[in-house]
């Protein structure tokens, strides 16, 4: 059985005071089949890891560099994330692809480096609105999967997040049928490339304007194993009902 994952991406939000939200999340009763991941800004990772130690909440980075160390001002190496207490890293988020020009091959190299360090990667894929309107969604997703995921994927080192770019932070959500079509396609591509054993065990998350009000219906869609949540992960009062909806699904 695939494990469920509720992942929160705090993006460039949160200073010390935000750790109280993490304390509230980690104090809630855990569900044995549902993992919780919070990816705070890098400045909070060490303290966040201390807050969640001895709980079932994982801490992750929002990016790492493709190199293991060196002259890369402002960047973070995978080993540094591990050292700070992270177990996961988000890679290829559309904001990184857009703001930093990250291409599929960059994401793939970063993912291999992250795996070599022992991190679990949450690799993001998703189409823009114009790509969807041009009926290119599955071609785009297929290309991103093929280009961004290294060959050594397993059910333990990889999570895929389907995040339509036009749904991120906009309040717009695809129909359940649209989500289902893409998630079924991702599952099919994972099984075809990595074999059924691996392909069936990689969790596939949906991301894009997930809220307490729509979480239950999104989690009812086949091959949706959880969510990558931005805005609604910043407050425990918003994220906890999403976690609860996933646990109940």
Binding site for ligand PEP (CB under 6 A): 9, 163, 168-169, 207-210, 228-232
In angstroms, what is the minimal distance from the CB of 124 to ligand PEP?
A: 7
Least distance (Å) between residue 126 CB and ligand PEP: 9
- Any catalytic annotation for residue 72? no
Q: Among this protein's residues, is 100 annotated catalytic? A: no
Residue 103: which residues within 8 A CB-CB, separation 6 or more? 97, 147
Phi, psi of 36 (to 5 degrees): -120, 135
Please give the Cα distance from 135 to 87 (Å, whole number).
Answer: 37
Residue from 93, 102, 127, 183 carrying the catalytic annotation: 93
What minimum distance in Å lies between the beta carbon of 229 and ligand PEP? 5
* Structure tokens that stand for 222 in this block: 């086949």
Q: Which is nearer to ligand PEP, 143 or 169 (CB)?
A: 169
Nearer to ligand PEP, 69 or 213 (CB): 213
| Token pair belonging to 234 | 């910043």
- The strand pair at 57-61 and 226-229 is best described as unpaired
Minimum distance, C-beta of residue 135 to ligand PEP, in the bound complex (Å) = 23
Cα separation, 109 vs 149, in Å, equals 9
Residue 34 CA neighbour count, 13 Å, CB half: 21
Q: Is residue 91 within a helix (H) or strand (E), and if so which, with residue range? A: strand 88-91
Q: Name the active-site residue from 21, 102, 127, 163.
A: 163
CA distance 29 to 26: 8
Which residue, 38 or 194, has its beta carbon nearer to ligand PEP? Answer: 38
Pick between residue 118 and residue 169 the one whose CB is nearest to ligand PEP: 169
User: Annotated catalytic sites, by residue?
Assistant: 93, 163
């Amino acid at each position: 059985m695939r494990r469920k994952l509720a992942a929160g991406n705090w993006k460039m939000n949160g200073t010390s005071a935000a750790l109280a939200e993490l304390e509230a999340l980690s104090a809630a009763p855990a569900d044995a089949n549902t993992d919780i991941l919070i990816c705070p800004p890098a400045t909070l990772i060490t303290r966040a890891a201390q807050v969640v130690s001895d709980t079932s909440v994982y801490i992750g980075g929002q990016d790492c560099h493709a190199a293991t160390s060196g002259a890369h001002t402002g960047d973070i190496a995978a080993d540094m994330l591990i050292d700070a207490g992270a177990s996961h890293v988000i890679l290829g988020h559309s904001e990184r692809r857009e703001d930093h020009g990250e291409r599929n091959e960059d994401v793939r190299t970063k993912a291999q480096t992250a795996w070599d360090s022992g991190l679990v990667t949450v690799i993001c894929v998703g189409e823009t609105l114009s790509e969807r309107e041009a009926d290119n969604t599955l071609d785009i997703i297929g290309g991103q999967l093929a280009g961004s995921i290294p060959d050594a994927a397993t059910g333990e080192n990889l999570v895929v997040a389907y995040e339509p770019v036009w749904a991120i932070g906009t309040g717009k959500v695809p129909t359940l049928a649209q989500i289902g079509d893409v998630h079924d396609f991702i599952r099919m591509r994972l099984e075809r490339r990595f074999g059924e054993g691996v392909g069936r065990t990689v969790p596939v998350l949906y991301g894009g304007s997930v809220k307490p009000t729509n979480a239950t219906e999104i989690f009812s869609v086949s091959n949706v194993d959880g969510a990558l949540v931005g805005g609604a992960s910043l407050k425990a009062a918003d994220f906890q009902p999403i976690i609860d909806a996933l646990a109940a699904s």
